[in-house]
Amino acid sequence: MSRLQLAIEEGDEAIARAKHMEMSLNMLENINPEENDMTLQELLNRINNADTGIAIQKNGAIIVDRIYKTKECKMRITAEEMSALIEGRDAALSKCKRLEQELHHLKEQNQTSANNVRHLTAENNQERALKAKLLSMQQARETAVHSTKNWKRKSRPFEFTTVYTNLYLKKKI
């Protein structure tokens, strides 16, 4: 039996709360648009000057509604600002990643260029060494050719003598 009484009491309390909420909603629906433009101080003055409990409750409901709407607006603005900040952060992160990749690519290019320059420098050094060797060999050849020409000039009288001697010796035999 006590369970039944407890259930009935809870039902009555729920009905009373629902009626109270319905009455508050009706008061909010009956708010004049002019009252929406009133400042909080004006609403507080209306509560102070109110003669009846219903007027106090009505103006109190307006204040509570205004506070709720302000709080809701601030939350919405904060959420929008957070979204903008998150988007900005994400954009900055993606830009940072892109720049890091670009930097890595440029480092690779610089490394490749440096390797190519080193390789070209090594090739140029080899080429210079080979050119120097070729030049020295050409000079040696020129010197050899020149000395051979000089030797031939000097050796002609000997050649003539050798040829003459050979001919002379052949006749004797």
Whether residue 133 lies inside any domain: the answer is: yes
Whether residue 117 lies inside any domain: the answer is: yes
Domain that holds residue 159: 31-172
Residue 135 CA, chain-centre distance (Å), reads 56
Mean pLDDT of 139-152: 74
Whether residue 23 lies inside any domain: the answer is: no
pLDDT at 135 over 80: yes
pLDDT digits (tens, 9 = 90+) for 64-101: 888 888 888 899 999 899 988 899 888 888 888 988 99
Task: Kindly state the tokens that stand for 141.
Answer: 């050849």
pLDDT digits (tens, 9 = 90+) for 21-76: 777 666 655 555 455 567 778 888 888 888 888 888 888 888 888 888 888 889 99
Burial class (CB in 10 A: 0-12, 13-18, 19+), 59: buried
Q: Reduce the DSSP state of residue 37 to 3 states and report it.
A: coil
Task: Kindly state the tokens that stand for 154.
Answer: 């000097």
Note whether 32 and 46 are within 8 A (CB): no
Whether residue 83 lies inside any domain: the answer is: yes
The pTM (predicted TM-score) of the whole model is 0.40
How many domains is the chain partitioned into structurally?
Answer: 1
pLDDT at 155 over 70: no
Number of Cβ within 10 Å of residue 58's Cβ equals 20
